[in-house]
Amino acid sequence: MKIAIASDHGGFDLKERLRRHYADLGLIDLGTYDSQSVDYPDYAKKMANEILSGSADLGILICGTGVGISIAANRYHGIRAALIYSAEVAELAKRHNNANVLVFGGRTMPFEDVINYIDTFLRAEYEGGRHQIRLNKIEQTE
């Protein structure tokens, strides 16, 4: 599975730590590449292009709280960005929502928690069935 990661300046430190932690997975780094102030919608756009073109299967997006970049990412048709705040939510974001972007707050979430959430999501399986009917309804209303 190809996984891309991107952040604004508020998520830069967490992005760098995740990149090092998951070095074996070879995360595709879409920036930002330093802690200079940038605009999170630009990184949501880069991620949407990466996922929707098929260059990556899963994305990880980070801003200060995760809120702004979630809002921005979910404007793109076909992006299902989930702001993850517990292991239970991580598991259900896969089983029920088949999320294709995981979102975290670089200033609000401890690194160890985020690792736990990502690992939990990666172990989970999408259930389809009634959940696919709901995802289809989202696709139709976007």
Q: Which residues bind ligand RB5 (CB under 6 A)?
A: 8, 10, 40, 63-65, 67-68
Work out how close the CB of 96 gets to ligand RB5 at its nearest, in angstroms, rounded to a whole number.
25
**Environment class of 24 (CB within 10 Å of its CB; exposed 0-12, middle 13-18, buried 19+):** exposed
Work out how close the CB of 95 gets to ligand RB5 at its nearest, in angstroms, rounded to a whole number.
27
2 backbone dihedrals φ, ψ, rounded to 5°? -95, 125
3-class secondary-structure state, position 53: coil
Active site residue 96: yes
- What's the CA gap between 132 and 105, in Å, rounded? 28
Q: Closest CB to ligand RB5 among 51 and 63?
A: 63
Work out how close the CB of 19 gets to ligand RB5 at its nearest, in angstroms, rounded to a whole number.
18
* Catalytic residue from among 9, 21, 77, 96: 96
Catalytic residues: 96
